[in-house]
Amino acid sequence: MSKDGPFRNPTPTVDVLIEVDGHPGTVVLIARRNQPQGWAIPGGFVDEGEYLADAAVREAKEETELDVELTELFHCYSDPSRDPRSHTVSTVFLARAAGTPSGSDDAAEAQVFALDALPSPIVFDHATILADYIAYRASGKRPPVRR
């Protein structure tokens, strides 16, 4: 306990940037069924006792019905205002999958979008993550460490 009461820690989450085989330069996004509504990178909360990578594979399957293969650990995002519901810290993975995504669980729909034709609005800090991913694909440089 802190002097101000119980500890208030950020909640761990994962997000998965999925490229569908045969469609380079694209990414799968979901239309959120719940608030905040808009387009998002598939992902969600890590369950207690769950490895981050396992959570990423599970969340991708739950929201897109795709079986993903994680290819890289991309970056972590921890801006305290990244999620309007609460302070979260997201570990973002890169992945690939075969097939056609379909919205499921808390995703109203899932679609493949060209990186140069992304939908709007994009919720949370996912526009920043997507911009970082686009820059990484072009330059090979990882996103900067942010405060």
Q: Read off the pLDDT of residues 34-92 as tens digits, 9 standing for 90 and up.
A: 999 999 999 999 999 999 999 999 999 999 999 999 999 999 999 999 999 999 999 99
Locate tokens 């490229």: which residue? 19
pLDDT for 4: 65
Phi/psi for 143 (5° steps) reads -60, 155
What is the 8-class DSSP label of residue 127?
H
pLDDT for 3: 63
Run of H or E residues at 107: strand 107-114
Q: Out of 50, 62, 65, 109, which one is annotated catalytic? A: 109
Cβ neighbourhood burial of 28 (10 Å; 0-12, 13-18, 19+):
buried
Encode 40-75: b = buried (16+ Cβ within 10 Å), e = exposed: bbbbbebeeeeebeebbbbbbbebbbbebebeeebb
The CATH number corresponding to 20-139 among 3.30.410.10, 3.90.79.10, 1.10.150.300, 3.40.50.1400 equals 3.90.79.10
* Contact of 41 with 123, CB cutoff 8 Å: no
What are the domain boundaries of the chain?
20-139
* Contact of 124 with 40, CB cutoff 8 Å: yes
Q: Which residue has the higher pLDDT, 46 or 147?
A: 46
pLDDT for 2: 52
pLDDT band of residue 7 (cuts 50, 70, 90) is: confident
Query: pLDDT tens, 97-111?
Result: 999 999 999 999 999
Known active-site residue 109: yes
Distance (Å) of CA 79 to CA 52, 90, 142: 19, 9, 17
pLDDT band of residue 113 (cuts 50, 70, 90) is: very high
